[in-house]
Chains A and B, each alone.
Chain A
Amino acid sequence: MRARQIKAFVKRDLRLVFRDKAAVFWLIAWPLIWVFMVAYVFVPPGSVTPVKLEIGVVNMDEGSGNFTGRDLIAVLENATYHGDRLFNIHVYNETGEMISDIRRGALDAGMVIPRNFSRNLTVGSARLRVYIGFTDIRSASITQGVLRGFLDEVSTRIGLVKANITIYYMQRYMEEGGVYNQSRGDLVGFLRRYMIGIAMPLNTSYEEVRPEAFETRETIIGWYTLGAIGMMFLYTGFSQGAAAVYREKEAGTLRRILASPTTPSTLVTAIVLSNLVIFLITAAIVLLAGVYGAGARIVFDPANPAHLLAPILLLDGALLSLGIGMLLSPLAKTSQGASSLGIALGLMLTFTAGIWFPRQMMPAWMSVLAEYFPPTWVFDTLRNIMVYGVGVGEVLGDVAKIAVATLIILIGDVAVYRLRLRRYLEEA
């Protein structure tokens, strides 16, 4: 019976939504407009580029040798990823000046090549000091990841060159009258492996890690596709959650529904479920259009446990928005009022709480809002999973936080509805 009643609501509401041009516009067209806006106006094809890091360099190296400070700068300047330059190099004469530019945010990082860099490199190991601009943890870790990967590789290459040179000299020394015995070939082979071992203590490949850390056009569009879905969830969820019961009341349907054997809890469940179904359908349309129409990078791999979380998180994002909307409903008196309140608040939070504009772009005081706004947790986690390919272990903490927040909001909703459902009817 209960299931049947709920089905009746879902069927009815789907009909209503897809017959209502305005609803279809706000649910599907509006988010898509923004996804395509990002894809073709803000980051048109070819315009982007993995984030290019602005790197300052102070070169105090005076020596000459196989590999000097100037060589390092040249390598940095020529480093590419997918055909795009990775670094913009700015040469400074003075460390203090460079550090203050990092502080201003003009540089992502800076490095100091010390006076005897090239000499140390030839005879032993050379030191390199790197300053990472820490505007926020995400961009700092990207910068650090890129630089570290790159410099490790440079260091490995230099090590290899050194090892080969050493082997060459040793070989010549041994051939020209040094120790000569039958096991000479074995000795050289042994030394070769030994020396290469020195040069490459760890045979790590940074290639696999690197792409994930980069913002490409695809990940930017992926980020905003989820942002557009989040925006749609917020304004529709808030307004639907706040206005749904008023709408039933004003249409006169609430009286009939409450006079039927439908219990209040079935009614609330039905309102929530039919909205969730609508949200999932529209989110799927926006996701597919984002991926296949706008070229967003959104990965879904059912074999990856983190990705199995994604649909649940998406549902939870919808549930949270509706749930917050329902908490708003006592603040209004009519469906008009409730719906305007929901839309206004939903849009405001979309733009201020990190759903549509990345938190990193906002002043610190404002990003506090994003810190404490559960829907932002949902969408950031979704982005980490589906856009940046983060593993399940890294998101479990966020998922737990989200689950607790959802639970608290739902308990609040039950309280509100318990208290108010019949009063909605009787209040003039």
Chain B
Amino acid sequence: MIVEARDVWKRYGGRVVLRGVSLRIEEPGIYGLLGPNGAGKTTFMNILVGVASPDSGEVLVNGRPPKDPSVRARIGFSPQDPGLIDQLTGFENALFYAELYGVDPGTARERLIGIGERLGLPRSVLARRVGGYSGGMKKKLGVIISLLHDPEILVLDEPTSGMDPGARRELWSLLEELRGRGKMIILATHYMDEAERLCDRVALINDGAIVAEGSPGELKRKHGPRAVVEVAIRGGVDEAVESILRGEAERIEVLGDKALLHVEDPDRAVPRIIDRLYGAGRSVTLLHVRYPSLDDVFLRLTGRRIEGP
């Protein structure tokens, strides 16, 4: 199982959406595409499953282009928009797609009920028309449909968005199980915790290009600061405070009354920060030292954050 993208470019109108994306995934495991809104994750996935074509470059799955139906048969794709028909029941929607993959209705039904039970989409709900589902229920059904033909490769575009925390964790554990069974899972997300907790490898994607790639640990070691100090200051972070802090951190980001400081050596930096703030007559209402997250890596590499404040 090899999924490979070579220098993929895509334009919409005059706008460049993917600028030379290359990646190679060879091992089973969970591969995350992490990036903010509009980064190009969905566009890349559409190309990966053969629904869109690149302007230049190519995507190969086991050495073949995804336009080849036999390649697509081995991929399970859950689009960002679940693609369900409101006038049909959950069962009818799911069995329709399963039949396009040649899964017999009995097997598909059985799998649907099994996974549905697990993700909190019981048989009684599946028997109802999808028009009456909540957003989260639709999302769950959309993800389950991509699993019904037991694909080798799963391409999931923001699978957990809209799901409640219980269902998210349940889906994570399901994906981990699938990884255990040797499946390759490629998922797009803008949830940090999802990428950090779940993914074996992550590609950080910003403005149509991959800015870094590796395991979450590697990325943080390689691109992240040693530590992040969060300070909240009574009266907020103003110019004066910022200029005081600038000397103590290699990077500062202000979020409301809080400042995030990237520091190399927190044991040295924290006492000095407190000293200098109190010295200037400002009082600290909160101080928190933590290890960097992928978001901090992203911020460092791109100057922007994935998750909002």
Cβ of B20 within 8 Å of any chain A Cβ, yes or no, is no
A261–B88 contact, CB under 8 A?
no
What CA separation (Å) do A256 and B50 show in the bound complex? 10
Provided the pairs A12-B88, A16-B88 are in contact, do residues A260 and B100 lie with their beta carbons within 8 angstroms? yes
Cβ of A24 within 8 Å of any chain B Cβ, yes or no, is no
Which of chain A's residues 3-46 have a Cβ closer than 8 Å to chain B?
4-5, 7-9, 11-12, 15-16, 19-20
What CA separation (Å) do A256 and B45 show in the bound complex? 12
Nearest CB of B to A277, in Å: 16
What is the 8 Å Cβ interface bit string for chain B, positions 72-104, against chain A (1 contact, 0 not)? Answer: 110101010111110110001001110111100
What is the 8 Å Cβ interface bit string for chain B, positions 133-164, against chain A (1 contact, 0 not)? Answer: 00000000000010000000000000000000
Cβ of B51 within 8 Å of any chain A Cβ, yes or no, is yes
Provided the pairs A256-B79, A260-B72 are in contact, do residues A20 and B99 lie with their beta carbons within 8 angstroms? no
Q: Which residues of A contact B46 (CB under 8 A)?
A: 255, 425
Some 9 contacts from A to B, beta carbons below 8 A apart, are: A12-B96, A16-B85, A251-B85, A252-B79, A252-B82, A259-B77, A261-B101, A262-B100, A425-B46
Taking a contact as CB atoms closer than 8 A, the residue among B12, B69, B79 that contacts A261 in the complex is B69
Cβ of A336 within 8 Å of any chain B Cβ, yes or no, is no
B87–A8 contact, CB under 8 A?
no
Cβ of A253 within 8 Å of any chain B Cβ, yes or no, is yes
B84–A263 contact, CB under 8 A?
no
| Secondary structure call for the A interface | helix
Q: Which residues of A contact B81 (CB under 8 A)?
A: 252, 255
Provided the pairs A1-B102, A16-B88, A255-B46 are in contact, do residues A261 and B70 lie with their beta carbons within 8 angstroms? yes
Cβ of A428 within 8 Å of any chain B Cβ, yes or no, is yes
Provided the pairs A8-B100, A251-B83, A428-B12 are in contact, do residues A258 and B88 lie with their beta carbons within 8 angstroms? no
Which of chain A's residues 112-127 have a Cβ closer than 8 Å to chain B?
none
Taking a contact as CB atoms closer than 8 A, the residue among A1, A9, A251, A258 that contacts B51 in the complex is A258
Q: Which residues of A contact B84 (CB under 8 A)?
A: 251-253
Nearest CB of B to A14, in Å: 11
Nearest CB of B to A418, in Å: 13
Q: Which residues of A contact B102 (CB under 8 A)?
A: 1, 4-5, 261
Nearest CB of B to A6, in Å: 10
B52–A425 contact, CB under 8 A?
yes
What are the nearest 9 A-B pairs in CB distance?
Answer: A252-B83, A8-B99, A261-B69, A260-B100, A261-B73, A256-B83, A259-B77, A252-B81, A259-B49
Cβ of B53 within 8 Å of any chain A Cβ, yes or no, is yes
What is the 8 Å Cβ interface bit string for chain B, positions 99-112, against chain A (1 contact, 0 not)? Answer: 11110000000000
Cβ of A333 within 8 Å of any chain B Cβ, yes or no, is no
Which of chain A's residues 236-284 have a Cβ closer than 8 Å to chain B?
251-263
B100–A5 contact, CB under 8 A?
yes
Which of chain A's residues 133-181 have a Cβ closer than 8 Å to chain B?
none
